[in-house]
Structure 1
Amino acid sequence: MKESGNDRSEDGRSALEAMESAAKQTFWGYLGCELVSADPGRAAISLRLRPEHLNMAGIVHGGVLASLLDNAMGLVAILACPEERTVTTGLNVHYLQSSSEGVLTCEAELIHRSRRTLTLEGRIADNNGELLVWGSGTFRRVT
């Protein structure tokens, strides 16, 4: 896990490391996601592209990009509601450019919160900082 530039308590760092360790046993780990940073209301994750992430045209599969976006926004939702379960209820993905190699970075941010719903936005960029995907998602608190 890489850390953000902000000071973080030892307890907070340990909790994030435990969360990332547990996530490696899930689809997060199967996909190859890595935590880059996490702060209240925002997070960044990365994915080193592998051949199995590509489609038959030799570019990253749209489903991989959507999953990366959903994982990053889902992490922000989990951190915003640590004592509750949250689920994705809507995901809008706008594919802007393609990529076929390197490391992708997805940054997600909480932009609105109501009593039961969280609204987030996310961006995926390639090694050169080129914007590949922009998306938004809604997450529902299911206590």
Structure 2
Amino acid sequence: MSEPFEPSTYFGLDIPYLKFLGVEPVLCAGERAVTRLKIRDDLLNSRGHIHGGALMSLLDFTLSAAGRSVDPLGIGMATIDITVSCFEPAVTDLTIQARCLRRGSSIAFCEGEVLDTEGKLIAKASASFKVLKAKYRAKAA
């Protein structure tokens, strides 16, 4: 069961940076999260591929969303570490799929992958997050 989040938010959160990147929230429920990104010229590196920093940001957010999916507005996540392995250049729209492998009272372990429009594996990531009591800034007007 997915929470009925306000459409202009990222699973209930106001995150201007993700709005700037153009991230589309798709699913945050059942220890899973899915986001999408449409390719844009301003996200490309000098070779015409989606910049690695944009990929890292997408993975960091989507993995953390999987970690807080049991209580999206009740808990927060702070990245402890993240490891990303890139296999192919990203040159099409992307889907990011993540799952929470284990969450304790203080640490969550998550993994995920970036797929292109043909389902080709672009990158994989694993991360650990500090589980926090939710403290979110007020939504900008």
Do the two structures share a fold, i.e. TM-score over 0.5? Answer: yes
Q: Which one of 93, 97, 108 corresponds to residue 88 of structure 2?
A: 97
Aligned to 1:3: none
1:132 aligns with 2:106: no
Q: Partner of 2:96: helix, strand, or coil?
A: strand
Residue 56 of structure 2 aligns to a residue whose secondary structure is helix
Residue equivalent to 2:38 = 48
Letter in 2 for 1:103: D
Deviations 1:29-76, CA, capped at 9 Å, x for gaps: 111110122221001100001011110111111111111111111211
Contact 2:36–2:93 under 8 Å retained in 1: yes
Question: Hey, what does 1:74 align to over in structure 2?
Answer: 64
- Pairing partner for 1:37 from 27, 34, 37: 27
Amino acid at match of 2:90: S
Q: Which residue of 2 aligns with 1:88?
A: 79
Count of residues paired in the alignment? 132
Q: Take 2:24 and 2:109, find their aligned partners in 1: how far apart are those partners?
A: 23
User: TM-score when scaled to structure 1?
Assistant: 0.82
Q: 1:44 to 1:114 in 2, by over 3 A?
A: same
- The aligned counterpart of 1:5 is none
Q: Helix, strand or coil for the counterpart of 2:80? A: strand
Is 1:141 matched up with 2:131?
yes
* Structure 2: gaps (5+ residues): 134-141
Q: Tell me by how many angstroms 1:137 deviates.
A: 0.8
Given candidates 47, 50, 60, the residue that maps to 1:60 is 50
Between structures 1 and 2, the one with greater helix share: 1
Q: What is the alpha-carbon distance in structure 2 between the residues aligned to residue 70 and residue 22 of structure 1?
A: 17
Sequence identity percentage: 25
Match of 1:28 in 2: 18
Distance 2:28 2:75 in 1: 18
In the alignment, structure 1 segments of 5+ residues that lack a partner are 1-7
Following superposition, the deviation at residue 22 of structure 1 comes to 5.7
Cα RMSD for the two superposed structures = 2.0
Per the normalisation by structure 2, the TM-score is 0.83
